[in-house]
Amino acid sequence: MSEKKVSEAIEYRRSVRVFNNKKEIDTRVVKKCIEHATLAPNSSNLQLWEFYHIIDADQVKRIATACFNQPAAKTAKQFVIPVVRKDLWEKRIASNVSFIQSEHEKSKNKNLKKIKGAISYYQKILPKIYGVSNFRGFINSIFTNIKGVKKVVYRQVKKSDMRVVAHKSTALAAQSFLISMAAYAYDTCPMEGFDSLRIKKILGLPNAAEISMIIGCGIRAKKGIYGPRFRVPFDDVYFQK
């Protein structure tokens, strides 16, 4: 299977609303595209995400039903579901610290100050941000805004702010998946129309997990794209300062 260049894949990608029911897609290729997704940039390298690859026919049907049987879901051959796992921040911090220490031991890096600084960031600063309660976050935001009058400060200190950060990181990974799929001439449709509670029950997710989106996967049908691509004029969104 030939691969497209990045620019070609970006141009090729469309939100396909109807997939060809006679054309299958290779599960191994989709899995490889998910691996590419995990290479996406993300906040503090915490990787607060999980990806559920739905290939079982019965599960695909249940997911489609929970997506209101919209055409992009009902005709999808497989689903990929990026899930935000902000609740795993402690585990991910531990993984990062372990990696830093392991790499330090292997390379025998003499820059102990840099190593200690990185570990301190993960063990002291991040827990204060991700472990904050709603009340403490509100208090933090007040003091931060006061400090911000006279100096540059980090203002996303509330619990809700970190939820947004985790969703942004997962969305970046999802976009990498979409482009990777397009590179293999596979099609996708990211959907936000779904019953999140039912999806979580199907996947067996804990309450703290959040569905980022549902991505239908397949090969576009002849009329699977609803018209030409529309974007507002570039000059309306591009500002050079």
Domain region containing 107: 89-160
- Final residue of a structural domain among 119, 137, 160: 160
Task: State the CB neighbour count (10 A cutoff) for residue 38.
Answer: 13
236 lies in some domain: no
Percent of the chain residues past pLDDT 70, beyond the cut: 98
Whether 77 and 94 map to the same domain: the answer is: no
Tell me the pLDDT band of 153, cut-offs 50, 70 and 90: confident
* pLDDT beyond 70 at 2: no
Report d(CA 200, CA 178) in Å as an integer. Answer: 22
pLDDT in tens, 19-44: 999 999 999 999 999 999 999 999 99
Whether 104 and 138 map to the same domain: the answer is: yes
Whether 75 and 30 map to the same domain: the answer is: yes
139 lies in some domain: yes
Whether 153 and 102 map to the same domain: the answer is: yes
pLDDT in tens, 44-62: 999 999 999 999 999 999 9
Whether 68 and 53 map to the same domain: the answer is: yes
Tell me the pLDDT band of 225, cut-offs 50, 70 and 90: very high
Cα dihedral 121→124→125→126 (10° resolution): 90
- Final residue of a structural domain among 107, 140, 160: 160
Specify the pTM. 0.93
* pLDDT beyond 70 at 182: yes
Give strand ranges (E) for 49-120: 49-54, 78-84
> What sign does the CA torsion over 32, 57, 83, 178 have?
positive
Tell me which residue of 191, 213, 188, 176 sits closest to 33, measured CA to CA: 176
35 lies in some domain: yes
pLDDT given for residue 110 in this prediction: 67
Mean pLDDT computed over 102-124: 85
Tell me the pLDDT band of 117, cut-offs 50, 70 and 90: very high
> Residue 122: left if φ>0, alpha if ψ -120 to 50, beta else—which one?
alpha
* Type of residue numbered 1: M
Whether 144 and 202 map to the same domain: the answer is: no
234 lies in some domain: no
* pLDDT beyond 90 at 103: no
* pLDDT beyond 90 at 88: yes
Domain containing 192 — which CATH number? 3.40.109.10
* Cβ 218 vs Cβ 20: under 8 Å: yes
Q: Which phi and psi angles does 81 have, rounded to 5°?
A: -120, 105
pLDDT given for residue 1 in this prediction: 65
Average pLDDT, the chain: 94
Percent of the chain residues past pLDDT 90, beyond the cut: 80
- Final residue of a structural domain among 113, 142, 160: 160
pLDDT given for residue 73 in this prediction: 98
Lowest mean pLDDT across 19-33, 54-68, 140-154, 181-195: 140-154
238 lies in some domain: no
pLDDT in tens, 10-24: 999 999 999 999 999
**Which DSSP letter does residue 106 get?**
H
* pLDDT beyond 80 at 108: no
Whether 15 and 124 map to the same domain: the answer is: no
Tell me which residue of 183, 194, 160 sits closest to 11, measured CA to CA: 183
Whether 156 and 186 map to the same domain: the answer is: no
Whether 111 and 213 map to the same domain: the answer is: no
Whether 133 and 195 map to the same domain: the answer is: no
Task: State the CB neighbour count (10 A cutoff) for residue 68.
Answer: 12
Q: Which residue has the higher pLDDT, 13 or 103?
A: 13
Residue 174 vs residues 52, 83, 126, 150: alpha-carbon distances, Å: 12, 10, 24, 38
Tell me the pLDDT band of 120, cut-offs 50, 70 and 90: very high
Number of compact structural domains in the chain? 2
Tokens of 170: 């997962």
* Type of residue numbered 131: G
Whether 18 and 125 map to the same domain: the answer is: no
**Which DSSP letter does residue 237 get?**
T
